[in-house]
Amino acid sequence: MIWQMAHGKHLDLNRTIVMGILNVTPDSFSDGGQYIEREQAVLHALEMEAQGADIIDIGGQSTRPGHTPVSAEEEWSRLRGIIPLIREKCSLPISVDTYYPLVAENALSAGADIINDVSGFGNPDMLTVAARHNAGCVLMHSENIEEEQDAPTRVRDFLMRRREEMHSIGILNDRICFDVGIGFGKTNEQNLRLIASMREACGSENPILAGVSRKRVIGNSCGNISAGERDFGTVAAHTIAVFCGADIIRVHNVPAAVQAARVTDAVMGRGHSNG
């Protein structure tokens, strides 16, 4: 399977893809404030590239539980000096983690290749931006699920419905990656079920991204440890997710994720070439 993106970029998903997280925010739950300076952000992106990341995912706003939203203008002010520099120095595809069409438009024009929209492309203007730039799209499930409801079924219904909307304006499967939305509107038990049900929830026609890194579901399973102590649990969760259908893992700790992905791929008999 090939994931197509803006600017002619693509990735061959015959092995597990590692998406490295770069938060240029003061308040992200795990690494807030570490990379808000331009030089620090660029150096970290290059460090993750050297460590084996396949994608750099840049976010200018925290979406952790209880976060205070910022405006599109404020979010872009955090990104506008960073994305062009990373594009100049880094050869990897760049993903922008935003639900604002203005930010997505500016980021793609500055060299980003992927829109990672935690709101699930519910804004028609975001669909227009994605279609105009031929962007890769991470379509995340973003609706609350009631405790008694079956999480994989609810996620699948949402993703299929939203995918049809994307198809209707010319965004086809080879540009759409699914994300079940671990930690967004779900109970702990539903999150665990979804980690083990990636293919059931997402089907087999689209790339699947697992975003579990250092999230509360990891802490809950390990005695409520802090975010910075959750890397070992993250490796376990992402390894299970890959066995259950995930093609891409979104991570804070790139070296740990790359090692785990390569061993998992070897056990599964998956290839090692890049797109």
46, with CB counted inside 10 A (0-12, 13-18, 19+), is middle
Phi, psi (deg, nearest 5) at residue 65 = -55, 130
243, with CB counted inside 10 A (0-12, 13-18, 19+), is middle
The one catalytic residue among 9, 156, 175, 215:
215
Residue pair 205/227 in contact (Cβ under 8 Å)? The answer is: no
Rounded CA separation 3/114 (Å): 10
Rounded CA separation 263/9 (Å): 26
The one catalytic residue among 156, 186, 230, 250:
250
Axis-axis angle for helices 188-195, 231-243 (nearest 10): 50
Residue pair 23/226 in contact (Cβ under 8 Å)? The answer is: no
Q: Is 215 a catalytic residue?
A: yes
Q: Is 250 a catalytic residue?
A: yes
DSSP track, 133-160: HT-EEEEE--S---TTS-HHHHHHHHHH
**One-letter amino acid of 197:** S
Residue pair 199/205 in contact (Cβ under 8 Å)? The answer is: no
Rounded CA separation 43/15 (Å): 26
Active site (catalytic) residues: 215, 250
